[in-house]
Amino acid sequence: MLNSNLTTAQLILISIIPVLFAIVLHEVAHGWAAFKLGDRTAYMLGRLSLNPIRHIDPIGTIVVPAVLILTVGFAFGWAKPVPIDWRNLKNPKRDTALVAIAGPAANLAMALGWGMIAAVTNILPDSAILLSKPLLNMAIIGVFFNVLLMVFNLIPVPPTDGGRIAVSLLPPSLGNVLSRIEPFGLIIVLLLILTGVLWQIIMPIIQTISSLIFLLFGL
C-alpha cells in the first residue's frame, strides 16, 4: 500500500513522526504502568514525559532506523529503557507481567490509531491530496512499525517484554530457568536477526496483523 515512488529522503521524513511516537510511547507506557503499580522511579526521573528528547537513544532511535530505511526499506529501533525498580511493585510476579505488556499494548493502540488516520485520508476530498497522500503513507508506516515493535517485543526471550511476561506467568521452576537466559538474551536475539531466522518467524505474523488492521478500517 505504501507509495513505491517515494524517494529515500521522503521515506525518512514521513517515518520520523510514527517511529518516534511508537518508540517513545512504548517506553512511557512501561513507566506509567509501573507508576500505577507502585514504582515511582520513572516518574521521579521525569521519564513519563512525552517529550522525545527525554527518551531518545542516539543509536537506537536515530542511527539504526535511518540505516535500516536506507538499506532494507523499513525502520526498527528503540529508546532508552524507562528505569523501573521491580522491588517496588505491589505484587512483583503479577505486576512485572502487567508492566511488560503495557509497552506492546501501547503499540497495538497506536497501530489502530494510525489505521483510523489512514481511513480518514481516504475520504478527504481530491483538493486535499497534498495533505492526504503524505498522511496516508505516514499512517501505513505507523501501522506497520507499531505492529513490528509489538511483535518483536513479545518474543519470549528475556529481557524482552515477552520474556518478562513468560517468566511471570510460568510456574516458578520453569520461570527461574527462563530468567537465567536474560544475560544472553540480547545476544540470542541478535543472532536470530543476523541469520534471518527471526524475520522468517515474525514477518508473517506482522503482515497478518497489519493486514487485519487495514481490513478493519476498510483499506
Averaging pLDDT over each range in 68-82, 114-128, 142-156, 162-176, which range is the top one?
142-156
Choose the catalytic residue: 15, 27, 157, 158.
27
Cis peptide before 172 (omega within 30 of 0): no
Per the annotation, the verdict on 27 as an active-site residue is: yes
Q: Model-level pTM? A: 0.85
Specify the length of the chain in residues: 219
Query: Which segments within 75-170 are labelled E, that is strand?
Result: none
pLDDT tens digits along 98-150: 999 999 999 999 999 999 998 888 876 666 666 678 788 889 999 999 999 99
Instruction: Tell me how far the alpha carbon of residue 215 is from its chain's centroid.
Output: 21
Domain extent listing, the chain: 8-216
- CA 53 to CA 55: how far, in whole Å? 5
Burial class (CB in 10 A: 0-12, 13-18, 19+), 131: exposed
Nearest to 92 by CA among 137, 37, 134: 37
